[in-house]
Amino acid sequence: MKTYSIATIPGDGIGKEVIPAGQAVLQALAATSDRYRFEFENFDWGGDYYRQHGVMMPANGLDALRHKDAILFGSAGDPQIPDHITLWGLRLKICQGFDQYANVRPTRILPGIDAPLKRCRAEDLNWVIVRENSEGEYSGVGGRVHQGHPIEAATDVTMMTRVGVERIMRFAFRLAQSRPRKLLTVVTKSNAQRHAMVMWDEIAAQVATEFPDVRWDKEIVDACTARMVNRPASLDTLVATNLHADILSDLAAALAGSLGIAPTGNIDPERRYPSMFEPIHGSAFDIMGQGLANPVGTFWSVVMLLEHLGEFDAAQRLMAAIEHVTANPALHTRDLGGQAKTEAVTQAVCAQLAPRR
């Protein structure tokens, strides 16, 4: 029997509610198989850890994760700690430390979900946004000088490297090639950002020549938001910079019904390091501790984790169980207009996975 070693990092806020739920569905799957099992190690890093130790995770934290098969992550963000400390001290440390340069964000309108675009049929909205996850606007290059003085200045430099852009473009073209429509939209802002984004466009055109069977186009990021609303079926796979894709994917999630549903994988395509899977949402301070969190984004992230491990049958079964549950309005959480609690949705998915008698 194969044993997969999974690190769980619930982090803060509703991360502490949805990650145990994700763990429960993995256990429910394992209970139906004699081919694989999961071994979990939980890491209590995040805001509470910061209050005790002055850091979000220990200095040798990456070493504790390095040999795991995958990481399941909740959220970093605590109402009492500035967001840039929680984000850079935990999630970005792991993403950048393990060079998880491809952030993959699928969006679909799941069965039973009342999505806000009235003229959009479910089959019109089936996207994967590929987010460059290692540099760009979140390169960490920058600084703040003369703090508090009239001449104060601050910069966050958008840094792009040829290596970084080439590898994300190649990943995106390959992903687009693997999907039925073989269609890629390269999101840009080269009209205004005339250095980094011009290089981005040039590299896109170069890499495109390696994929003659992929149809591709370019869209300026602001126009892309309108296109997502007005012509969703004209999009399939998208590739965008760290910041642009961050914003576009929250819009995508909302268009598909709720931020609480959307999953993501922070992936090291070369598999030198473990990849990390998480719902795209944050700590949700407004609902934390009340059992109101929608766990579907975490469950779908677990589907991506299973696909990454090569457990395609388990991934398919879990996705089917999720869709069975979203199709039932009695199992919708408050963000979807329902009244179900995290626990009830989790139990329903686990029950769906259990062997029939």
Under the rule (CB under 6 A), what is the footprint of ligand NAD?
14, 75-77, 83, 86-87, 91, 259-260, 278, 281-287, 293-294, 297, 333, 335
CB nearer Mn ion, residue 246 or residue 268? 246
Return the structure tokens found at 248.
Answer: 């576009």
What's the order of all strands across the beta sheet hosting 183-188? 36-42, 2-11, 70-75, 275-279, 263-267, 102-108, 126-132, 237-240, 183-188, 215-220
Please state the closest distance from residue 249 (CB atom) to Mn ion, in A: 7
Q: How far is the CB of 295 from ligand NAD (least distance, A)?
A: 7
Residue 262 backbone phi and psi in degrees, to 5: -80, 135
Q: Which is nearer to K ion, 95 or 169 (CB)?
A: 95
| Stretch 78-107 residues interacting with K ion (CB under 5 A) | none
Closer to ligand NAD by CB, 139 or 283: give it: 283
Do 30 and 40 contact (CB within 8 A), yes or no?
A: no
Is residue 133 within 8 Å of residue 103, measured between CB atoms? yes
**Nearer CB in complex with ligand NAD: 98/216:** 98
Structure token digits, residue 108: 């679909």
Name the binder of 297 from K ion, Mn ion, ligand NAD, none, CB < 5-8 A by kind.
ligand NAD
- Binding part of the chain for K ion, among 124-132, 154-162, 234-242, 277-285 by CB under 5 A, reads 277-285
User: Rounded to the nearest whole angstrom, what is the least distance from the CB of residue 165 to K ion in the complex?
Assistant: 25
Among 62-70, 167-175, 270-278, 294-302, which window interacts with K ion (CB under 5 A)? 270-278
Q: Given the complex with ligand NAD, which of 57 and 76 has the nearer CB atom? A: 76
- Residue 55 site contact among Mn ion, K ion, ligand NAD, none (CB < 5 to 8 Å, cut-off depends on kind): none
Q: Does 75 bind K ion (CB under 5 A)?
A: yes
The CB-of-212 to ligand NAD minimum distance in angstroms stands at: 36
As measured in angstroms, the least distance from the Cβ of 76 to ligand NAD is 4
Residue 100 binding partner per list ligand NAD, K ion, Mn ion, none, with a CB distance cut-off of 5 to 8 Å that depends on partner kind: none
Residue 91 site contact among Mn ion, ligand NAD, K ion, none (CB < 5 to 8 Å, cut-off depends on kind): ligand NAD
Residues in binding contact with K ion, number by CB under 5 A: 2
| Integer Cα distance of 332 and 258 in angstroms | 11
Name which of K ion, ligand NAD, Mn ion, none residue 246 binds, using a CB cut-off of 5 to 8 Å depending on partner kind: Mn ion
Smallest gap from residue 264 Cβ to ligand NAD (A): 8
Q: Is the distance from CB of 278 to CB of 308 less than 8 angstroms?
A: no
Min. distance of Cβ 232 from ligand NAD in angstroms? Answer: 21
**Per-residue DSSP letters for 174-240?**
HHHHHSTT-EEEEEE-TTT-TTHHHHHHHHHHHHHTT-TT-EEEEEEHHHHHHHHHH-GGG-SEEEE
Residue closer to Mn ion, measured from CB, 137 or 246: 246
- Decide: 177 and 214 in contact? Cβ < 8 Å: yes
User: Is the distance from CB of 125 to CB of 232 less than 8 angstroms?
Assistant: yes
Residues 176-235 that bind K ion (CB under 5 A): none
Q: Report how far residue 207's alpha carbon sits from residue 4's, in angstroms, rounded to the nearest whole number.
A: 35
Return residues touching Mn ion (CB under 5 A).
246
278 near K ion, judged by CB under 5 A = yes
Integer-rounded Cα radius of gyration of the chain: 20
| Residue closer to ligand NAD (CB basis): 113 or 176 | 113
DSSP string of 77-143? --TTS-HHHHIIIIIHHHHHHTT--EEEEEEE--TT---S-TT--GGG-EEEEEEE-SSBTTS--EE
Q: Which does 259 bind (CB under 5 to 8 A by kind): K ion, Mn ion, ligand NAD, none?
A: ligand NAD
| CA-based max dimension of the chain | 73
The residue ranges that bind K ion (CB under 5 A) are: 75, 278
